Amino acid sequence: MSLQTRRTGQLAFLLAPVSLFLLVFFVAPLSIMLAYSFLEPGLYGGVVWEFYHWNYGRVLGWADGVLEEFEPVYLSIFLGSLRLALLTVAVCILVCYPAAFWVSRLPERWKTLCLFLITLPFFASLIVRLYAWILILRPSGFLNHVLLEAGLIDRPLQMIYTEGAVVTGMVYIMIPFMFLPIYASVEKLDTSLVAASQDLGATRFQTFRRIVLPLTLPGIVGGSIIVFIPSLGNFVVPSLLGGAKVLMIGNLIEQQFLYARNWPFGAALAMLVMATVMLFLLAYVTLVLRRDDVPRTG
Amino acid sequence: MSETVSPDIVEVIDGVKSFVTPEGDDIVALGGVRLSVRRNEFITLLGPSGCGKTTLLRCISGFEDLDAGTILLDGKDVGGVPAHRRPVNTVFQSYALFPHMSVGDNVGYSLDVAGVARRERDRRVAEALELVNLAGMQQRKPRHLSGGQQQRVALARAIISRPKLLLLDEPLSALDRNLREAMQFELKTLQHELGISFIFVTHDQGEALTMSDRIVVLSGGTIQQVGEPTEVYDTPSNAFVARFVGDSNLFAGEVIQRDGDLALVRTDDGHLLRARAGIFAVGERAMLMIRPEQFFVAAGPGESAAAVGGTIQRKVFTGTDHTLVVRLDGSGSLVKALLRDEQRNRVTELEVGRPLTFAYMPERAHLMRPEAAS
């Protein structure tokens, strides 16, 4: 046996467990979902094995109006979710980017402490932490109490069950996922480049735009992807903090599967969410490839 | 009355700067430095790490502010003026090339942030690259270049906007030896062509001697000596400079007699040696220096007025020279002697363990202060 084939054999052996796991628990369910999304819903739940594209037509506008109706509300929920997810990403960047610079300049000991604190919320259950937000935001909650006592307002504000509450909750959950990639790229930034830029006559703003931002962009983009994907499909936060007022696509999918018993329609919605994410990723990869088109040799 | 042009491009007047360490101690980086750099001069700040040379450079470039004292750039006080508004550019030790930009964009950076028109900018970028022998490399990325090429890009980037002064912070330390020697000549030529002053920071005395018009030797935040390379080498102001620049044999002792220009020194280990007296009077403590290459082999004791006898301990061939380590008769102190080509035939006869007499020219032996200034 040559060294090459032995290496290949070892690699196959090492990769086999994870490949098998992904095949059984990821590729297979996904294929089932994809297949279901093109099937006819059964009258009492389940599916009829008949090709049926109206599931997508209902959302995107080519329903026949007899079996399925085109409902613009699905599209608007979809776009609303997209908006909330992008808003979550934006707020996370605004919070984490300056914080990352601040932490990266701390002495080593404090840095480690800060990174530990960032991951601390993972030690408590997500549901518990979201209930805490209910206690904070509800009309008789902590925040209203403080504002009333301070005399800033004379009646409790409706803070919970708003889009603001949902975005707050999602930002809260997602901050570690945004912070860590951004921190990694900020920490890596060579400060002598900043000095060189200033030395060559660039103002602070020019230095930021031409040097700091481009060099930390990979961290921002990486964090954005990790935050965007779970935010778009999130249904826990909107159901706890959005109540009946804020419905996201994740809630809709959940309802289709668990309450409406329309698995094909739920699957179609899930596929649309996935397709959207894929489009964003594709755009990112294209941009990266174009930016880095110089061959690495020579 | 017309304004007179200041003869100096940089003047540092009583510059003081100290830092607080994380442990809370005060470290004096500059202890009252006084320095002027002339127009079109290649001046080198030489000293061991921690001597304050980089701090001085950073104060001139505007990355640090002096605690006390004044820096005049082209006659104007630049206290509080930030780095980006000083007519001074720096070549950094790590080159600090922008990795996400092409060579052309790196070199053109200072023109781009100043808003220079595209055509003018492109022309000057091409010109600057030509000056450092990198013509036509605009499209390359820095990471595809060799260390020497990156160095040239950094240089082109720093000189393109024609600063009044170029600061170079150990720019050659990352290059291998041959490349470094080639770059030394190129830098010197470039400085001559551009007609701007260079302040070059290094801990390599060879580099300093080769390139500089003047050398500033620093230690512990204090200037030990300022002078032309030959001056610093031949007549160091104190033992620190003598040890730091070139090889030297040093004898601490006392002047016991003055005889015209020459002094007789009784060294602490008991030798009687002659040297140029300089400012030293009878009874004063002094350090006597004889460079290894000032020794020559004498036929026997008494041939010269200045001679020492000893036994060869070690003999090392270094290409052009032979280095001998000799244990002196009487005191047992070790001295180094460098024997050049013309004495080569005699050297081959010299074997370890053989006694011999060294002579030297007393008027070339140098007397100086024993301690470094602080």
- What residue of B is the nearest CA neighbor of A193? B96
d(CA B42, CA B229): 11
| Digit-coded pLDDT (tens) for A187-197 | 999 999 999 99
- What residue of B is the nearest CA neighbor of A293? B141
**Residue B200: strand pairing partners:** B44, B168
d(CA A276, CA A262): 22
Q: A221 CB near a chain B CB, below 8 Å? A: no
In the predicted structure, residue A217 carries a pLDDT above the cut 80: yes
Mean pLDDT of chain B: 88
Q: Percent of chain A beyond pLDDT 90? A: 66
**Residue B15: strand pairing partners:** B33
Q: B110 CB near a chain A CB, below 8 Å? A: yes
Residue with the larger pLDDT of the pair A243 and A183: A183
| Digit-coded pLDDT (tens) for A64-99 | 777 778 888 999 999 999 999 999 999 999 999 999
Q: B63 CB near a chain A CB, below 8 Å? A: yes
Answer positive or negative: Cα dihedral of B151, B153, B158, B160: positive
**Least CB–CB distance from A202: residue in B63, B84, B92:** B84
Give the list of residues 6+ apart from residue B149 with CB closer than 8 angstroms, or none: B134, B137
Chain B CB contacts of A201 under 8 Å are: 84-85, 110, 113-114, 161
Q: B92 CB near a chain A CB, below 8 Å? A: yes
**Residue B310: strand pairing partners:** B328, B356
Q: A294 CB near a chain B CB, below 8 Å? A: yes
Paired tokens of A195: 């000095």
- Kindly report the nearest CA distance between residue B101 and chain A, in angstroms: 9
Beta-carbon separation of A195 and B96 below 8 A: yes
d(CA B128, CA A220): 35
Beta-carbon separation of B109 and A107 below 8 A: no
Question: How many Cβ contacts (< 8 angstroms) between chains A and B?
Answer: 72
Beta-carbon separation of B89 and A107 below 8 A: no
| Mean pLDDT for the stretch of residues B104-125 | 96
- Kindly report the nearest CA distance between residue B111 and chain A, in angstroms: 9
Please state, in angstroms and as integers, the Cα–Cα distance from residue B56 to each residue in A174, A193, B39, B169, B207, following that order.
46, 20, 18, 11, 19
In the predicted structure, residue A296 carries a pLDDT above the cut 60: no
- What residue of B is the nearest CA neighbor of A291? B100
Domain that holds residue A115: 74-259
Q: A66 CB near a chain B CB, below 8 Å? A: no
Q: A185 CB near a chain B CB, below 8 Å? A: no
In the predicted structure, residue B159 carries a pLDDT above the cut 70: yes
CATH number at residue A195: 1.10.3720.10
Can you give the pLDDT at residue B344?
59
Q: Percent of chain A beyond pLDDT 70? A: 97
Indicate the pLDDT class of residue B1, thresholds 50, 70 and 90.
very low
Residue burial A127-139, b: 16+ Cβ < 10 Å; e: rest: eeebeebbebbbe
Q: A193 CB near a chain B CB, below 8 Å? A: yes
| Mean pLDDT for the stretch of residues B79-103 | 93
| Digit-coded pLDDT (tens) for A263-288 | 999 999 999 999 999 999 999 888 88
Asked if the structure places residue A192 within a domain, the reply is yes
Give the list of residues 6+ apart from residue A79 with CB closer than 8 angstroms, or none: none
Can you give the pLDDT at residue A247?
87
Write the burial class of residue A231 (CB in 10 Å: 0-12 exposed, 13-18 middle, 19+ buried).
buried
Beta-carbon separation of A210 and B113 below 8 A: yes
| Digit-coded pLDDT (tens) for B216-267 | 999 989 999 999 999 999 999 999 999 999 989 999 999 999 988 889 999 9
In the predicted structure, residue B168 carries a pLDDT above the cut 70: yes
Indicate the pLDDT class of residue A298, thresholds 50, 70 and 90.
very low
In the predicted structure, residue B2 carries a pLDDT above the cut 50: no
Tell me phi and psi for residue B362, to 5 degrees: -60, -30
Smallest Cα–Cα separation from B287: which of B275, B270, B304? B275
**Residue B202: strand pairing partners:** B46
Beta-carbon separation of B84 and A190 below 8 A: no
Chain A CB contacts of B94 under 8 Å are: 190, 192
Lowest mean per-residue pLDDT among A92-106, B93-107, B332-346, B351-365: B332-346
Please state, in angstroms and as integers, the Cα–Cα distance from residue A197 to each residue in A190, A209, B145, B153, B197, following that order.
12, 11, 20, 14, 21
Which residue of A199, A204, A213 to mutate against B (max B Cβ within 10 Å)?
A: A199
Q: Domains in chain A: how many in total?
A: 1
Count CA within 13 A, CB hemisphere, residue B151: 20
d(CA A275, CA A7): 37
**Least CB–CB distance from A298: residue in B83, B98, B144:** B144
**Least CB–CB distance from A200: residue in B22, B63, B110:** B110
Put simply, the chain A residues between 88 and 117 with a CB less than 8 A from any chain B CB are 107
| Mean pLDDT for the stretch of residues A139-165 | 89
Can you give the pLDDT at residue B80?
87
Chain A CB contacts of B24 under 8 Å are: none
Can you give the pLDDT at residue B250?
93
Asked if the structure places residue A288 within a domain, the reply is no
Q: B20 CB near a chain A CB, below 8 Å? A: no
Smallest Cα–Cα separation from B87: which of B10, B164, B168? B164
- Kindly report the nearest CA distance between residue A51 and chain B, in angstroms: 51
| Mean pLDDT for the stretch of residues B90-96 | 92
Asked if the structure places residue A124 within a domain, the reply is yes
Can you give the pLDDT at residue A165?
94
| Mean pLDDT for the stretch of residues B171-189 | 88
* Greatest mean pLDDT among A165-169, B266-270, B334-338: A165-169
Chain B CB contacts of A297 under 8 Å are: 144
Chain A CB contacts of B62 under 8 Å are: 198-199
Beta-carbon separation of B89 and A190 below 8 A: no
Beta-carbon separation of B84 and A198 below 8 A: yes
Beta-carbon separation of B100 and A215 below 8 A: yes
Can you give the pLDDT at residue B346?
64
| Mean pLDDT for the stretch of residues A218-244 | 92
Which residue of B23, B100, B138 to mutate against A (max A Cβ within 10 Å)?
A: B100
Mean pLDDT of chain A: 90
Are the C-beta atoms of B154 and B39 separated by less than 8 Å?
Answer: no
- Kindly report the nearest CA distance between residue B20 and chain A, in angstroms: 14
Chain B CB contacts of A206 under 8 Å are: 113
What DSSP state is assigned to residue A171?
Answer: H
Asked if the structure places residue A168 within a domain, the reply is yes
